[in-house]
Structure 1
């Protein structure tokens, strides 16, 4: 029998695309508490089944496919610009491929307007109509409204017409930033992209016995199995050492490890890799928000994902990317870094966060020269000794003073014109790459 949480999710999926729903509506319809309804709506929002829009409410949308993750939808644009929807509600789930600023004649606009584009324009009614007729949504800046004819046309064509109080330049900058952020998100690999689904996962139940474990081990050659209880909820994990010396009739629930470490499918591969390395885990169960077993992820899955990610072209630019670009190798022992205005705080000295990132990136560079392995920084102890001013050229000297097959420790010294300015101890884990 489905849990209340699952019943709510099934109910949400049954609602037509574009329909509004609320916590109160679901609680009343399914006779559940508002807290239960709220948690289910949040999971539906994470899955792309619904989207919450300011001054509009929560709306049933189509699930986003993994291939479209780099695109923004019009409903997301509406949230970014703090705008108001005037018409075309059914088109909110459509994706935005590009935006156009309508500072041109209408004949010139036709060269740039395409389907799934967004025309940013003022109170020019004829240009608004032209954009809709050619498949583009419309964003009206300056707080202007649209005539009823335009709203009716947008509803007919299912193309959103939105308005915002911001000016055109500000709106363009906000959308451009959002598109770059989406590209960065696309580069962050999530567990949902790599884990083994439940239908391909070997698992045991609390009612199984040690004999069932041995049968599963003979057929799958696996030594670790997640254990589920009522409603497929994760309750433990059992390994080979747990059943050593146990009789075949002993129940799994009496020998399993309770409350095991687990992950959700929305966590990043990097964060899960950190946990698995730190705790020495070979396998982690993947669960839903209700702790229902969805599958498993293995250390080998993590390693392959990390290697694949390193080979992908970088399209978005994070702060770490910007800092890494400024670190230059002087020789095999030293690196150089120039402190730009963007890297400083309000006092004109280098930001502590930037300094910490320099230390981390230098540790990666130093170890990458010596090891064909994946590297995970576990711990950084940083001491900022002297203020580093804007425009300074830093010399960074990393030294590996302790190294084993699985870990390394580095001493990193940072010099500026005034001498030794910072010193750090960095502890890293080394993972053998999958061939």
Structure 2
């Protein structure tokens, strides 16, 4: 039987994109309380179904799907190179393994052709035929067409035959870029990747007592447990401080903390970490769409995940990775630890000075490394105020000098000076979250 919460979510999902919704309207149309409607709308916002815009209200938006780039198909290649499919359309869903540029004779070419590969070639029909007969798709560059015989062969073998107006070098660069994106390993980690499932989770029910908590505490060694009702829906969380001085026979429902923070499987580890840090949480329940308990995620799980992501090897470099590789730590007698960064052509804008976004990333990276150097872990920039005094030219080397002027248990504030040729060129003030083992 569909719950009221599920019914509201289904209704919201059925609305056209751009439709404005409100708590009062949904409560009236679906005959539910405004509290139930409000919770469902907030849940829809977390799922990416609606968005709240200031001075406009809450509107239905198109849900963004998490794109999978694990496999690059010929269909995606067609979109990347703005190509036209001449034949073999049934094979567009096949996966591309590698590409070859056919700038050689047919006899020399044969050793490089493998099944699942893509032969990039001009208006050379013998080479096109050779590639198709050996299991490779064909991409014809320069906007050339081909014969009816080659098209029929591609259809019969179900191997894509594509043409594009770009030249071979441009096409190879575009495909290589797409394959590099495919190889970037540091993906956004979600809660579903790290949480402990309910089968391995200790929890209590509203029918349990304080004595049941104490027994479970002795058995597991943990001090925080989710509390669920008969339908396994989360109703609260109970900790050691909740049961101190309470009689053994008292119901857990009377001592638990109601409406606790919780996570969903689709939430990023970073967003969960943010909540845990600022609200001092050690454990967060993980819920399904119908609010039933799926498991828990602990602060320890979050820390391990973030540290693992930082250590993960890269097969394709992002801009952030390139910055990290170029940033060098140095020591200054006057200022202690400083960081040096060379401004390469890739890091500049159209007028040859360092991009504002790159400078922000360089400063953030220097601060991460600086806090790690100070034996802190998993710093996340919460706020940055960056002031750019002078243009930083391509080919110059900048020196980043971070200093902590306020350090707390959960956050740090830093003052960062940036120099080029010993002249101040920028200054930033950063507020960072800090996650430490407790």
Give TM-score scaled by structure 1 length: 0.70
Q: What is the Cα deviation at residue 70 of structure 1?
A: 4.7
| 359-368 vs 383-392, greater mean Cα deviation | 383-392
| Residue of structure 2 in register with 1:175 after alignment | 175
> Residue 379 of structure 1 aligns with which residue?
383
Distance 1:309 1:226 in 2: 28
The answer (yes or no) to whether the contact 1:236–1:258 under 8 Å persists in 2 is yes
Q: Secondary structure at the match of 1:111?
A: helix
**Aligned twin of 1:341:** 345
Q: Does 1:427 align with 2:431?
A: yes
Where do 1:169-318 residues align within 5 Å?
A: 169-202=169-202, 220-225=220-225, 257-258=258-259, 260-265=261-266, 267=268, 269-286=269-286, 294-318=294-318
Aligned length: 381
CA contact (8 A) 2:118 2:139 kept: yes
Distance between the aligned counterparts of 1:292 and 1:152, measured in 2?
Answer: 55
Shift of 1:305: 2.0
Aligned pair in 2 of structure 1 residues 77, 392: CA closer, same or farther (>3 Å)? same
Contact 1:265 1:288 in 2 (8 A): no
**2:108 paired residue number:** 108
Residue segments in structure 2 that go unaligned for 5+ positions in a row: 7-43, 50-61
Distance 1:165 1:259, change over 3 A: farther
Q: State the alpha-carbon separation in 2 of the partners of residues 264 and 305 from structure 1.
A: 14
Which protein is bigger by CA-based radius of gyration? 2
Question: Counterpart in 1 of 2:367?
Answer: 363
Q: 1:433 to 1:248 in 2, by over 3 A?
A: closer
Closer, same or farther: CA 188–255 of 1 in aligned 2, 3 Å: closer
CA shift at 1:123, angstroms? 3.9
The answer to whether 1:400 aligns with 2:401 is: no
Change in Cα spacing, 1:433 to 1:95, as seen in structure 2 (3 Å) is farther
Deviation at 1:234, TM superposition (A): 6.6
CA contact (8 A) 1:139 1:164 kept: yes
Give the whole-Å Cα distance in 1 for the aligned partners of 2:296 and 2:146.
51
Match of 1:10 in 2: none
Equivalent position SS for 2:316: coil
The 3 A distance-change label for structure 1 pair 117 and 270 is: farther
Q: 1:391 aligns with which of 386, 391, 395?
A: 395
Partner of 2:82: 82
TM-score by length of 2: 0.69
Would you say 1:127 and 2:127 are equivalent positions?
yes
Asked if the contact 2:243/2:255 (under 8 Å) is kept, the reply is no
What CA distance in whole angstroms lies between the structure 2 residues aligned with 1:127 and 1:235?
68
Is contact 1:43-1:289 (8 Å) kept?
Answer: no
Deviation at 1:150, TM superposition (A): 4.2
Structure-2 change in CA distance of 1:45 and 1:353 (3 Å): closer
| 2: CA distance, partners of 1:155 / 1:252 | 67
For the aligned residue pairs, the C-alpha RMSD in angstroms reads 4.3
- More moved, 107-116 vs 398-407: 398-407
| Secondary structure of residue in 2 paired with 1:431 | coil
Q: Residues of 1 paired with 2:247 and 2:430: CA distance? A: 44
Deviations 1:67-125 (A, max 9, x none): xx654233332332333445445544433221112222222221211222222233433
Distance 1:318 1:105, change over 3 A: same
Question: Is 2:410 the counterpart of 1:409?
Answer: no
Name the CA shift for 1:124/1:290 in 2 (closer, same or farther; >3 Å).
farther
Kindly indicate whether the alpha-carbon contact (under 8 Å) linking 1:138 and 1:162 is maintained by their aligned counterparts in 2: yes
Give, in whole Å, the separation in 2 of the partners of 1:417 and 1:118: 50
